[in-house]
Chain A
Amino acid sequence: MNRIERKFRELKRQKKKAFIAFITAGYPNLSTTKKLLLEFARIGVDIVELGVPFSDPMADGPVIQQASEVALKNKVNLRKILKLVKEARRVTQMPVCLMSYYNPIYCFPQDKFVRAAVDAGVDGVIVPDLPPEEAKGLLKTAQQSGLDIIFFLAPTSTGERIKLISQKTRGFIYYVSLTGVTGPRQKLPADIAVNLAAIKRITKKPVCVGFGVSSRAQVKQITRVADGVIVGSAIIKKIRENRKRADLVSRVSNFVLKLKA
């Protein structure tokens, strides 16, 4: 059993829902990312999702795009991010996933990436532009090494897709709350509950909802119907607002505490 699975079992026992925080690795710089990671572990964030910056993030809105650009300017790459996770792993058992577009993984190359990720203590990988049809190679090595590949479902997914993805995903299902890119929204679609119910009829695997979630009220709305909630752009925005302050980490930490309270 890996750390993600253990985490969901533990939450289930406690009748709690997972709070998953996304941050772009290397924004505003790698040392801050490491501090944030450890701070998130300290305040009880259940899983951290570390975004690997990419030149063409087609599923991301302006907030994460901009964070990626800064990280790339800082010359952040997958190797450095894995090193960061490895260092953090010495002090925390909090599950860590990487969110990366496929090309940086493909170029690593793939098999070597899986070994390096497991070695660093990464528990899962989320690849927004890699549906299971194209993931055969990655799935094979990942399964042998115990690395979770987490797949997406969307409001446009058909029953057939729900079956396929429930079967292929490990760790949890990432349900995209809306048709669109990442970024804070005032209002989330009304069909989330209905769509989640349809997914839940097909699979027992945990389903976590992300995209657009930016307020405490929305977190509550989601966790009523899902096993977990993922917040990304709202946290990145908070980092951006405080990027020049010495107390950035504690300010972001307070914001996250309020979200997950």
Chain B
Amino acid sequence: MLPDKKGHFNGFGGRYVPETLIYALDQLEREYKKAKRDRAFRREFNYYLSDYAGRPTPLYLAANLSRYLGIKKVYLKREDLLHTGAHKINNTLGQILLAVRMKKPRVIAETGAGQHGVATATVAARFGLKCDIYMGTEDIHRQELNVFRMKLLGARVIPVRSGSKTLKDAMTEALRDWVTNVRTTHYIIGSVAGPHPYPEMVREFQAVIGREARRQILQKEKRLPDYLVACVGGGSNAMGLFYPFYNDKRVKFIGVEAAGLGLASGRHAATLVKGGIGVLHGSKSGLLEDKFGQVEIAHSIAAGLDYPGVGPEHAYYKKTGRATYAAVTDKEALEGFKLLSEKEGIIPALEPAHAIFYLTKLRRRINKNSVIIVCLSGRGDKDTQIVAERLRL
């Protein structure tokens, strides 16, 4: 089972961090392994997942959408119905419980769309920890609602002005904070990215999505799905859905990245579809980079996908062919956004709107009797302003 002891997924992953952080990663790994075996921890985690966050989430048969697409059945895993409005809370609950166990009085996080920032601020409020959130000024501008929510929850939102002023730079800045305050601070990384043990640990905390979905689909359909489809920025909602189906070899995984202004434009965030391999933020994985190894600036209308890296396990899935990856442009994502709103009365976040739109491409080349599960990773309230501007509503 991967990763190996050093956090490698067949060459991807690992721990590319300053020496100062090794001690904190060792401590986190020890505490995480201990917690994983501890029944009391699992009980507590499950309690908060159900009574605080609202699990299990429904697996909803999107009948109108299915009919429109001419696909037998499209199910939506409704992570958008969770407390705080996205799947991010699954992971932040797990990590805040670990932070409490490690007796760290302070947590920090990076955020792009603000969903992970809100989910971190939420659990920090609930458990009484000090909380600082790093966010690029570009994202602060386009996700104003979430900035306001984080502040209401008692977190400090620290604007990051360097580089592209988005998620990548927020994460670099959070790592600098962590190097500085490593003894008193736990860094709640929001995706299946970063140094070991984060990719594995975040996957485990998010795998509740796939475990529920697997149980639910077997109950409803008496069979496994043909396809799992999810958007991929860092890739936590996708990995959470995919991983519990890993050994079900007939279930195909499709990750949908952001093609931004188009794959040929050079302004996109399609790391696995278009990028190379490199080292950023503590792990080796897919990376948008130039020929000199400088990290390129990503672009996507969805702040949560606007990241030049990707979780190392996705790079491994791509290399081995276990999953395939596609990309959807800003414009197409907006169509996906409208489509789900109009057909099902569900306003998705711009991130999963990429996955929704992808179905309109997928339908042309698959058996019409297919059963598909799409991870609806978050709801669209945070994006209404940006969408209203673009669609001139």
Which residue numbers of A lie inside 8 Å of B, CB to CB?
54-59, 61, 65, 72, 77-79, 101-108, 128-131, 133-134, 151-158, 161, 165, 176, 179-181
Contacts and interface: CB of A to CB of B under 8 A. Distances in A.
Contacts of A130: 16
B361 interface: no
A55 B163 CA distance: 8
B18 A157 contact: no
Contacts of A157: 19, 22-23
Contacts of A128: 18
Contact of A179 (B15, B17, B179): B179
9 A-B pairs with least C-beta separation: A107-B293, A104-B293, A154-B20, A156-B23, A152-B19, A180-B180, A103-B293, A77-B292, A55-B295
16 contacts: A56-B168, A57-B172, A58-B172, A77-B292, A101-B279, A103-B294, A104-B294, A107-B293, A129-B17, A130-B16, A131-B22, A154-B18, A154-B23, A157-B19, A158-B23, A179-B180
A152 B179 CA distance: 14
Contacts of A153: 19
B19 A103 contact: no
Contacts of A151: 19
A176 B19 contact: yes
A181 B19 CA distance: 12
Contact of A180 (B22, B179, B280, B289): B179
Given A134-B14, A176-B20, A59 B179 contact: yes
A155 B19 CA distance: 9
B23 A58 contact: no
Nearest to A174: B19
A134 B176 contact: no
Nearest to A127: B16
A55 B294 contact: yes
B30 interface: no
B83 interface: no
Given A56-B163, A129-B16, A161-B22, A105 B176 contact: no
Interface in B337-370: none
Interface of B: 6, 14-24, 162-163, 168-169, 172, 175-176, 179-183, 276, 278-282, 284, 287, 289, 291-295
B176 A181 contact: yes
Chain B residues touching A, majority SS: mixed
A130 B22 CA distance: 11
B163 to A, nearest CB: 7
A56 B280 contact: yes
Contact of A134 (B15, B24, B163): B15
A39 to B, nearest CB: 27
Contacts of B294: 54-55, 72, 103-104
Contacts of B24: 156
Contacts of B163: 55-56
B19 A102 contact: no
A155 B278 contact: no
A155 B279 CA distance: 25
Given A106-B278, A176-B20, A133 B15 contact: yes
Q: Which of B23, B163, B294 has the most CB of A within 10 A?
A: B294
Q: Which of B162, B284, B287 has the most CB of A within 10 A?
A: B162
Given A103-B294, A106-B279, A154-B22, 20 more contacts: A56-B163, A56-B280, A58-B179, A61-B176, A77-B292, A78-B292, A101-B279, A103-B279, A107-B289, A129-B16, A129-B282, A133-B14, A134-B14, A152-B18, A152-B19, A155-B20, A156-B22, A156-B182, A176-B19, A179-B182
B109 to A, nearest CB: 16
A181 B22 contact: no
Nearest to A54: B294
Nearest to A211: B20
A156 B281 CA distance: 20
Nearest to B297: A55
Given A102-B279, A131-B15, A156-B182, A107 B291 contact: yes
A60 to B, nearest CB: 8
Contact of A181 (B15, B180, B276, B292): B180
Contacts of B15: 131, 133-134
Contacts of B169: 56
A61 B162 CA distance: 12
A151 B17 CA distance: 12
Contacts of B20: 152, 154-156, 176, 179-180
